[in-house]
Each structure stands twice: as C-alpha cells, then as structure tokens.
Amino acid sequence: MVEGGKIVTVAVVGATGAVGETILRVLEERDLGVSDVGPFASRAREGGSRYRGRDLDVRVASDEALRDYDVVFFAGGENASERFATPLIERGAIVIDNSATFRMRDGVPLVIPEVNAHAVRPEHRLFPVANCTAIILCSALAPIRDAAGLRRVRVATYQAASGAGREGLDELLAGERALALGEAEPQPRVFARALARNAIPQVGAFDERGESGEELKVREETRKMLDLPGLAVTATAVRVPVRTAHSEAVFVETERAVSVAELAHAFEGTSGIVFHATGVVTPREVEGSDAVHVARLREEDASGGTRFAFWCVGDQLRKGAATNAVAILELLLAKGYVRS
Ligand SMILES: NC(=O)c1ccc[n+]([C@@H]2O[C@H](COP(=O)([O-])OP(=O)(O)OC[C@H]3O[C@@H](n4cnc5c(N)ncnc54)[C@H](OP(=O)(O)O)[C@@H]3O)[C@@H](O)[C@H]2O)c1
C-alpha cells in the first residue's frame, strides 16, 4: 500500500484528447505524490504532451507499455478501455476510466467522491467515471435527496461542443468561422446538424423509443450514483454552441415538503457546490471551475413544498470528467487503497 499518497506511477491513455489533457492539468495542480506520468494515445508524438513544464513523448498504448503503472487513467474512448483495462485490473493496477464501458456493471462503483465515497471498497480496482452530464446533475441532486428525498427528476440539458471531444469543438469553431466570414459552412460530421448558431436536440443515437444515448445514461447513472434504483428520471439532452461547460435546467419532486430556504441551506453546506442565491451563472463563467454551480432555485407554483426548479452549470471537462477522475485517485490514496 502507498502510505499517505506517496510515489505512484500514473499513465494517461488519451493524453492528447480533451479529457486526457485536462487530467494532466488537474494532476499538475494537486500534490498527490505522483512520481512518473506516462502519456499514451493511438499515435506516438514526440514531445506531444506537457506536464510540469516538460514536454513528454506520447507513446502508443499497448499492454506492454502500460503494465508497469500503478494507476491508469483512460480517456481514449470505448475501444481503448475495452482493449486494455481488464489485464491491468487483473494485475492489481487501479483503472480510472472516463468511457461508458464499465459504468453500469454490477459490483463496479460509480463514484463522485462528494456524493458516494462510501461505495469504494479496498478490493475495488476499476473506477469508471460517470457521464459528465450525470455527474453535474447528481452533485446538485444529492443535497436535495438528503434534505427531502427525491421522487422524480426532469432535466433539459444545454451541452457544450467539447463534450464531443476535440473534433466536436473543432467542428463548432470551423462553423462559427465560416459563418462570420460569409463562407460555406463545412458539412457536420460530429453533430447531427451544423452547431454554430443552432441548438440540436440529439446527443448520441436514438433507441426504438426515441430516447438518445445521453438521455439513457443520465437516467441509469443517476439512479446508480444516488442509490435510488426506482427514481423517475426524464432527460432531454440538447447540444448548444457553447465551447465548454454543460448547463442543466432541472425540475425535481421531493418525497417530503421542504422550503426553498432549507434547500438553499443544503446547497450552501455541500462541498463542491457553489450556490448563487440571486442572479444567474453561465457556462462561460464556470470554465476552469471544479465546482457545480447552482442558481435560480425556486418552488413551482402551488407545489406545497414538493416541486422545485433550478439551474446548474459545471465544466464538463473538469468536474464532469478529469477532476472527478483525479479526485477518485485522491480518495483511494487517502484510504491507502493504491498498491505500488
Ligand atoms: N469531452 C468530454 O467532455 C467528456 C466528458 C466525460 C467523458 N468523456 C469521455 O472521455 C473519453 C475521451 O473523450 P475526449 O472528449 O477527450 O475525446 P478526444 O478529444 O477525441 O480524445 C481522444 C483521445 O483518445 C486517444 N485514443 C483514441 N483511440 C485510442 C486507442 N484505441 N488507444 C489509445 N488512445 C486512443 C486519442 O489519441 P489519438 O489522437 O492518437 O487517436 C486522443 O488522445 C471518451 O470515452 C468520452 O466519452 C468525455
């Protein structure tokens, strides 16, 4: 066991992508006692990653190259996680995986340290990081669940282009540029429609009921993280021409009557939440923030203290992915669960 967070070696698979690069930034910011960081991707790049003022060579991910690391962060999509995670776990390494591959597997914890750190056991080696929209939502829902119980959640999301990775952001920027210059817009490849100056009510593929992949993840992962398997959750996921940070308009029904003041107090007392009692908060303002920002809390008309609406915003590359991933490692180190 590594005592008190000392000397662990860390690999980042997908280090050149939107999430992987952010993991490197968050690791730099926190003093976790990491002695060696190895960046990996599907293609090698000399000096392709920067960490603590040094250019590091990016290597091609392989079983062989990853085998000596104590902790491996995956931010390389489903293929990379499916391909490389299992042998690492079997060997006893800690795998912290940003893809959806293992999230709903029985016996695998889906952890937001501020919400359900108790789900972590010493024998766990695999830690999927939940969907970014679900992390932001559950961070805001947990204090309501604890204060008044939760009966139903409805949410409409306003999701940033970088939620679809580097290519998503590039597609938005290319579309914005073309429109500004009066040129022909490039054909959309990442999104279902051109995103610049638009809003697209589709994030992921639709199933036979017309629900998108993102909407399904929000329901299933919210139930798992809040430990409320029967919670009614309905989401409409929308892509908007914002660069970074997802926003969500949330409508909840509580089990017990509660006041706005009591819920405000619950938000204010929760680590990782910044509660805005008045005014608004927008995605551009929270870029780079590790908190989930909650604003516009109000009771629905004549609800008897059981129906509320609020707005929440979080940087999905940080709180929705990289910061949560690194916070899981921090938690494991604090508990002494990382073997060196
Ligand atoms: N973007 C978000 O806001 C967000 C939030 C939460 C979770 N996630 C999840 O995080 C993961 C990464 O997303 P992203 O947005 O960072 O994507 P991205 O910007 O497209 O970056 C993908 C990274 O993965 C690497 N990669 C791709 N296939 C690989 C393979 N087979 N083996 C090793 N490396 C491989 C790429 O390297 P090459 O360039 O060399 O191919 C690149 O470094 C995805 O599973 C995504 O669903 C994303």
Average pLDDT, the chain: 96
Atom of ligand 1 nearest to the CA of 163: 3
What is the C-alpha to C-alpha distance for residues 260 and 121, in angstroms, rounded to an integer? Answer: 36
Question: Which residues' Cβ are closer than 6 Å to ligand 1?
Answer: 13-20, 40-43, 61, 75-77, 79-80, 98-99, 132, 162-163, 165-167, 316-317, 320-321
Condensed to tens digits (0 to 9), the pLDDT of residues 111-160 reads 999 999 999 999 999 999 999 999 999 999 999 999 999 999 999 999 99
Condensed to tens digits (0 to 9), the pLDDT of residues 216-243 reads 999 999 999 999 999 999 999 999 999 9
Dist. CA 80 → ligand 1 center (Å):
9
The number of angstroms, rounded, from the C-alpha of 106 to the middle of its chain's C-alpha atoms is: 20
Beta-bridged to residue 95, according to DSSP, are 72, 126
Condensed to tens digits (0 to 9), the pLDDT of residues 86-119 reads 999 999 999 999 999 999 999 999 999 999 999 9
Dist. CA 62 → ligand 1 center (Å):
16
Q: What is the pLDDT of residue 5?
A: 45
Atom of ligand 1 nearest to the CA of 132: 6
**Domain residue ranges of the chain, discontinuous segments joined by +:** 3-129+321-335, 134-316
Task: Please tell me the number of Cα atoms within 13 Å of 199 on its side-chain side.
Answer: 8
Give the residue carrying structure tokens 């952001």: 169
CATH fold label, 3-129+321-335? Rossmann fold (3.40.50)
Domains 3-129+321-335 and 134-316 equal at CATH topology level = no
Choose, from 138, 246, 276, 312, the residue flagged as catalytic.
246
Per the annotation, the verdict on 246 as an active-site residue is yes
The proportion of the chain whose per-residue pLDDT surpasses 70, expressed as a percent, equals 98
Q: Is 233 helix (H, G, I), strand (E, B) or coil?
A: strand
User: Which DSSP category does 208 fall into?
Assistant: T
Condensed to tens digits (0 to 9), the pLDDT of residues 291-315 reads 999 999 999 999 999 999 999 999 9
Compute the chain's Rg from CA coordinates.
20
User: Sign of dihedral through CA atoms 186, 187, 191, 197?
Assistant: positive
Would you state the structure tokens that stand for residue 187, as one six-digit string? Answer: 């054909």
pLDDT over 80 (residue 176)? yes
Helices 18-29 and 165-181, packing angle to 10 deg: 110
Query: H or E segment at 170?
Result: helix 165-181
Dist. CA 161 → ligand 1 center (Å):
14
Condensed to tens digits (0 to 9), the pLDDT of residues 1-48 reads 454 545 899 999 999 999 999 999 999 999 898 989 999 999 999 999
Beta-bridged to residue 295, according to DSSP, are 311
Atom of ligand 1 nearest to the CA of 244: 3
Average pLDDT over residues 323-333: 97
User: Which DSSP category does 256 fall into?
Assistant: S
Q: For a pocket test of ligand 1, which of 22, 23, 40, 42 has the largest count of ligand atoms closer than 8 A to its C-beta?
A: 42
Q: What Å distances lie between residue 139 and 80, 162, 227, 291, CA to CA? A: 28, 21, 13, 9
Q: What is the pLDDT of residue 182?
A: 98
Q: Output the pTM of the full model.
A: 0.97
DSSP 99-128: SSTTTT-TT-----HHHHGGG--TT--EEE
Average pLDDT over residues 273-288: 98
Beta-bridged to residue 252, according to DSSP, are 153, 308
Dist. CA 283 → ligand 1 center (Å):
22
Q: Is 255 helix (H, G, I), strand (E, B) or coil?
A: coil
Please give the single-letter amino acid code of residue 196: A
Question: Is the domain covering 134-316 a CATH 3.30.360.10 domain?
Answer: yes
Average pLDDT over residues 198-220: 98
What is the C-alpha to C-alpha distance for residues 310 and 315, in angstroms, rounded to an integer? Answer: 17
Q: What is the pLDDT of residue 6?
A: 53
Give the model's confidence band at 339: pLDDT under 50 very low, under 70 low, under 90 confident, else very high.
confident
Q: Is 275 helix (H, G, I), strand (E, B) or coil?
A: strand
Q: Is 236 left (phi over 0), alpha (psi -120 to 50) or beta?
A: beta
Determine how β-strand 232-236 pairs with β-strand 246-254.
unpaired
What are the residue ranges of helices labelled H in 182-239?
213-226
Dist. CA 15 → ligand 1 center (Å):
8
Do the Cβ atoms of 231 and 153 come closer than 8 Å?
A: yes
Q: For a pocket test of ligand 1, which of 13, 19, 137 has the largest count of ligand atoms closer than 8 A to its C-beta?
A: 19
What is the C-alpha to C-alpha distance for residues 194 and 176, in angstroms, rounded to an integer? Answer: 10
